[in-house]
Amino acid sequence: MEYRRLGKTEEQVSILGFGASPMGDVFEVSDEQDGIRGVHYALDHGVNFFDVAPFYGLTLAETRLGKALEGKRDQIFLATKCGRYGLQDFDFSYDRILKSIDESLLRLKTDRVDLIQLHDIEFVEKSQVLNEAIPAIHKIIESGKARFWGITGLSVRYLAEIARQTNPDTVLSWAHYNLLEDEINTELVPLSKKMGFGLMNAAPLLQRILSDQPLPAWHRSPQPVKDTQPKLLALCNSYGVKLSDVALRFAMDHPDIATTIIGMCDLATVTQNISVLDFRIPSGLLEEIEILVAPVKNQMWFEGREENNL
């Protein structure tokens, strides 16, 4: 396993991050015991960064991860989130943020997390983020219930804007660095170097487009982007490799991203993702992929309030 410094936290985190959202059955129903075995396999092979949220499975993912980490909490860097509790359930008020961390700690069976993050900040008014959520986050840090804090979201420009105003320890950008998207490089990479926050990338498979798995019905990518999946699968097959392995290796190879968070829970998927640590992309394949995806590169959808996506 390779480790990188998570910005100003000075913590060393595994370049492969365990995204626990599938433990909450967000893609399909999973087996709890298989998920626990997957967590233990990841730990045994050097994964030390685990990311979860109350939103994933409506608290199910936190509950299952808490069970899996019993007796192993001190081996990892544990991150959770607050502010988002359902598909359209957002509450970034001061009191709710303070209540949220206590609820998460109970589910995770611990007295503190390493990182507490404001979840999908683009969905609420900026004034509430700045005037209620951020003060509550600082109160949590003062209480010792979390060591560091960060922000997460889809819009790289809005993440950068809020980061400039609030100076977080970390920024988690999702779906903006993969074989089809590279907008994380426009503002967040240079800003992370300037400000010192730890930069994290999630969804390197772009919610399964960059894999051989069927796309979920709720996938919001434009149809032309979705249509690249079979073409990419055929191209990778011609090289004798798996599309998901190529996509994950590509994402982890970004030198300025501390950890690449990929959703996983079952032992088979965890084992496959761990194996990518020893995988190298065949010569010439990335060049062919670049040509293939050029017509749909960076065709991202938008989420949240319109004023936060300008």
Lowest average pLDDT, out of 25-39, 109-123, 276-290, goes to 25-39
pTM above 0.75, yes or no: yes
Using alpha carbons, select from 153, 209, 215, 210 the residue that is nearest to residue 184: 153
The Cβ of residue 28 has, within 10 Å, a number of other Cβ atoms equal to 9
pLDDT at 310 over 80: no
Q: Mean per-residue pLDDT for 142-164?
A: 97
Span 3-309: which CATH code? Answer: 3.20.20.100
Q: Catalogue the active-site residues.
A: 56
- State residue 274's pLDDT score: 98
Predicted confidence (pLDDT) per residue in 222-261, tens digit: 999 999 999 999 999 999 999 999 999 999 999 999 999 9
Q: What percent of the chain has pLDDT over 70?
A: 100
Predicted confidence (pLDDT) per residue in 157-179, tens digit: 999 999 999 999 999 999 999 99
d(CA 246, CA 139): 42
- The tokens for 211 are 């894999």
- The tokens for 113 are 């997390």
Is residue 115 a contact partner of residue 79, using CB atoms and an 8 Å limit? Answer: yes
- State residue 231's pLDDT score: 97
Q: Where are the domains of the chain?
A: 3-309
Alpha carbon 11 to its chain's center: 17
Predicted confidence (pLDDT) per residue in 185-228, tens digit: 999 999 999 999 999 999 999 999 999 998 888 888 999 999 99
